[in-house]
Amino acid sequence: MKHDIHLIGLNHKTADVSIRERFALSDKPEAARRFICGPVRECMTLSTCNRVEVLAVGAGDVAGHVVKVWSEICGQPPQALAEAAYVHRELQAVRHVFTVASSLDSMVVGEPQILGQLKDAYRACLELGTAKVIVNRLLHKAFFVAKRVRTETEIASSAVSISYAAVELAKKIFGDLAGKRAMLVGAGEMAELAAQNLLAAGIAHITVANRTLSRAQELAARFKGTPIAIEEMYEHLPETDIVISSTGSPTVVIRARDVKDVLKLRRNRPMFFIDIAVPRDIDPDVNLLDNVYLYDIDDLKEVVEENLAQRRGEAERARTIVDAETVSFANWLSSLSLHPTIRDLMAHGENLARRELAKTLRRIGQDIDDKTRASLETLVLSIAQKLYHEPVCFLKRRTQEEGGAERFIDLSRRMFNLDRDDVPADAHADRKKGTDETCDCGLDEPDSEE
Amino acid sequence: MGFSELLRWLAFGAYLLGSAGVFLGLVAARRGLLRAGACITGLGFAAHTMDLLVWYGGGAATVNAAFYVSVLAWVLLVVFTVLWKRLGLAFLGMAAAPMVFLVYTASFAFSGLNVVLPKAYAPAFWVVHIGALYVSMGLLAMAFGAGMAFMYMEQKIKTKAKLAGFQREMPSLTAFDAVNRIAALFGFPLFTTGLLSGFIWSGLTRSAVFTGHPREYLSLVGWLFFAFFFHQRVVTGWQGRKTARLAIWLFIYLLSSMLAVNLLFPTHHSFVETP
């Protein structure tokens, strides 16, 4: 049976949010099941804030069917969707799935969330029972490609947000942030974000200093920190390692000479100042002091821009991985028919027999004549052929059934490992423990969060 | 070629290849290369250890100055391994491996100098004088490497320069500073012990605690320098760039005085028993 892979979708590059929200499928968890009719045999939907996509496998007018059903589900005219959507077919669709999983098609290239979202979407379609041989294999492969891209390139190794860049720099100064103390001076939104990232990185305590004490109390309550009035700031600075300042003050709030005194009280332990206020809150001369590091908003922006440029460069390397894996998937796809599988199966049996024969002959040594040798060879090859005869007959029968071809061919290929896939030692560990009831796709692998 | 000579060439080759592997592995962020470099250095270390055992087994009274310099290279590697395991600072290998190679190579230059050790005092001399001085030198060597790395990275962070390649993988400034602190905290008492034992040794073997040899003056200056480093780090609370710089200069001073004076004035500090 023919298996056409189609990917129909809208993303941040092709459709603005007003269109994406009309065709969003995030609030329609059963949507994938609705696509399974007519020409579509397998389906998976992915709906995030930046993309809505339907992956469908079938034969015939798959794209037309998907557009029609999708419009019905969302109660929108199909023409609006047809005009805005992109349609990828066959290997182009495969490449697109790999590109999305590897975060090469994301708004911020290399961001890790998309892989988690893709895993969630796959998990949902497994629960709905809409994923079969092709979608299963394609998604497993996509997770593998994403992992390769992340380990073999530096696409996700650098911070691309101001607040995360600040945390990364703090780690370069202090190493482990566990046990370190931070102070927010002022209560701006960006400082709040940086504080959240610091807490996620393990910071021990946050002090919030603000002109309005009630606002400081409100923010400190959120971070389980200590609120103080801004006038008390210098009393608390000696025990503070990281200072994030974002007041609306028109003049300097933290002066270099005062920081010098603070350093004496701290016995020169390093301090990191992050000034995200405009106009700046911290005297730039603070950076001239030994063991004090000051970054303002422009410095952090520059770090982020450099990192983004680096990610773009790494994306080129990642695309070569995606291309290679697309070719590998295409090879698997073309093997999904009966005759190549029977050929591979018989060759597998024959190789096995010959290997075992060679081992036995080595053990016996030279004391064996050519006639016996030939007889032994005939014997083992005959056993192998007879052993594989029944599975081949079974396969031929089953492939006549509706949907049986792909299922049983794939099963046989996996059972005898005809594609020479590497199976990790712990591939089924989750099943042994009985923790994962859905699949063995590695969905439990944690994502790193920005 | 005798067995000892074979071991020495093996250690020399392994240190050369290993230090290149470790250095390039760290700079290019190639884990395979780093691991291969570390394994080859380990092989060199095994050959080096065996050579020292064979050498010493041949008679403590006949070891020459090359032996002492060779021991210094061996101790440097031991101290690095301890710090690496304790602090997880594989990056120190970038300084340690080439340094061990250089000191080991330098040991060949000392082969002409004879050092005779009276048997009765040999064990105490080895543990107290050589042991204490060499471990303190090893700690300072690591502080030297960590100090260079600290200055480099601190400059990058202070000037907001772009961190690329291996710089992203480098440990934090605090981790490098921790090596400096350990060198001051443990290195100075050990150096003092080593120096005092040297004077006591001199009193026992030459009937004169202080003989006025240039090396003794240089050692005392080194001790004052080390004392200043210790005081500023431990008592005054200096840390970061200032102490990194101090450790770098102190190590350069002590190493050059140890190597150069031994070459320039070989007879006086050769520990030959006075008749």
Q: Which domain range does residue A391 map to?
A: 338-422
pLDDT at A183: 94
A168 and A293, same domain (yes or no): yes
pLDDT at A438: 38
Q: Is the dihedral of CA B123, B129, B134, B135 positive or negative?
A: positive
Structural domain contains residue B255? yes
Give CA–CA dist B32/B36, Å, rounded. 6
Structural domain contains residue B27? no
| pLDDT tens sequence across A403-427 | 667 778 778 877 887 777 665 555 5
- Answer yes or no: is the ipTM higher than 0.85: no
A49 and A138, same domain (yes or no): yes
Please report, for the domain that includes residue A176, its CATH number: 3.40.50.720
Structural domain contains residue B36? no
Residue of B nearest to A154 (CA): B165
And the tokens for A45?
A: 């939907």
Give CA–CA dist A11/A50, Å, rounded. 6
Q: What residues of chain A lie within 8 A of the CB of B157, using their CB?
A: 169, 172-173, 293
Q: Do B172 and A173 touch (CB under 8 A)?
A: yes
Q: What angle do CA A84, A86, A87 make, to 5 degrees?
A: 140
Domain limit, last residue, from A157, A176, A198: A157
B130 contacts B63 by C-beta, under 8 angstroms: no
On whether any CB of chain B is under 8 Å from the CB of A292, the answer is no
Structural domain contains residue A105? yes
Number of domains in chain B: 1
pLDDT at A238: 94
**Ordered alpha helix ranges (H), chain B:** 3-27, 31-57, 65-87, 93-107, 122-124, 132-158, 166-169, 173-206, 214-230, 241-264
pLDDT at A149: 92
Q: Nearest by CB to A291, which of B160, B164, B239?
A: B239
Structural domain contains residue B181? yes
Q: What is the pLDDT along chain A (450 residues), one digit of tens a residue?
A: 456 899 999 998 888 888 888 898 988 888 889 999 889 989 999 998 889 999 999 888 899 999 999 999 999 998 989 888 999 999 999 999 999 999 898 887 888 788 999 999 999 999 998 988 889 889 999 999 999 998 888 887 776 677 778 888 999 999 989 989 999 998 777 778 778 888 888 899 999 999 888 888 988 888 889 999 999 999 999 999 999 998 888 889 999 999 999 999 998 999 999 998 888 899 999 999 999 999 998 888 888 888 888 888 888 899 999 999 999 888 878 767 777 788 888 888 888 999 999 998 888 887 788 888 889 989 999 998 888 888 888 878 877 776 667 778 778 877 887 777 665 555 555 444 444 433 333 333 333 333
Structural domain contains residue A319? no
Q: What is the mean pLDDT of residues B147-174?
A: 87
pLDDT at A153: 87
Please report, for the domain that includes residue A143, its CATH number: 3.30.460.30
Domain limit, last residue, from A127, A157, A187: A157
Give CA–CA dist B164/A380, Å, rounded. 59
Give CA–CA dist A201/A181, Å, rounded. 12
Count CB-CB contacts under 10 A for residue A77.
Answer: 11
Mean pLDDT of chain B: 81
Query: Is A439 designated active site?
Result: no
And the tokens for A147?
A: 């992992």
Sheet hosting strand A51-58, strand order edge to edge: A40-47, A51-58, A4-11, A86-89
Structural domain contains residue A439? no
Q: Is the peptide bond before A340 cis (omega within 30 degrees of 0)?
A: no
Structural domain contains residue B66? yes
Structural domain contains residue B142? yes
A66 and A10, same domain (yes or no): yes
Q: Identify from A177, A291, A307 which residue to disrupt to test chain B contact, counting B C-beta atoms within 10 A and taking the largest count.
A: A291
Q: Torsion over CA of A178, A183, A189 and A194, rounded to 10 degrees?
A: -30
- Which run of H or E residues covers position A6? strand A4-11
Mean pLDDT of chain A: 84
pLDDT at B174: 92
pLDDT at A263: 93
Residue of A nearest to B167 (CA): A172
pLDDT at B173: 94
A86 and A140, same domain (yes or no): yes
The pLDDT confidence band at residue B131, using thresholds 50, 70 and 90, is: confident
Structural domain contains residue A442? no
A292 and A270, same domain (yes or no): yes
A364 and A298, same domain (yes or no): no
Q: Between A60 and B56, whose confidence is greater?
A: A60
B150 contacts B244 by C-beta, under 8 angstroms: yes
DSSP letters along A347-366, please? Answer: HHHHHHHHHHHHHHHHHH-S
A168 and A152, same domain (yes or no): no
Q: Which domain range does residue B92 map to?
A: 61-264
How is residue A446 annotated by DSSP? P
A144 and A173, same domain (yes or no): no
Structural domain contains residue B44? no
Give CA–CA dist B134/B80, Å, rounded. 12
A159 contacts A167 by C-beta, under 8 angstroms: yes
Number of domains in chain A: 3
Residue of A nearest to B240 (CA): A291
A204 and A150, same domain (yes or no): no
Structural domain contains residue A120? yes
Q: Which residue has the tokens 């000034």?
A: A275
Q: Between A46 and B85, whose confidence is greater?
A: A46
Angle between helices A162-174 and A189-200 (to 10 degrees): 50
How is residue A401 annotated by DSSP? S
pLDDT at B273: 41
A110 and A232, same domain (yes or no): no
Q: Which of these is catalytic: A49, A74, A393, A441?
A: A49
On whether any CB of chain B is under 8 Å from the CB of A428, the answer is no
| pLDDT tens sequence across B249-258 | 999 999 888 7
Nearest Cα neighbor of B140 from B64, B65, B48, B233 is: B233
A395 and A281, same domain (yes or no): no
Q: Is the peptide bond before A78 cis (omega within 30 degrees of 0)?
A: no
| pLDDT tens sequence across A243-280 | 999 888 888 999 999 999 999 999 899 999 999 888 88
Spatial CB neighbours of A70, under 8 Å, sequence gap ≥ 6: A8, A23, A25, A31, A35, A54, A78, A81
Most confident of the following: A232-246, B65-79, B164-178, B251-265:
A232-246
Q: Identify from A151, A153, A157, A172 which residue to disrupt to test chain B contact, counting B C-beta atoms within 10 A and taking the largest count.
A: A172
Structural domain contains residue A428? no
And the tokens for B57?
A: 């087994």
A217 and A95, same domain (yes or no): no
pLDDT at A241: 95
Give CA–CA dist A368/A354, Å, rounded. 17
pLDDT at A435: 42
Give CA–CA dist A331/B209, Å, rounded. 83
Number of residues that this document lists for chain B? 275
Structural domain contains residue A140? yes
Structural domain contains residue A358? yes
Structural domain contains residue B109? yes
Number of residues that this document lists for chain A? 450
Give the distance from residue B230's alpha carbon to the nearest chain A alpha carbon, in angstroms. 15
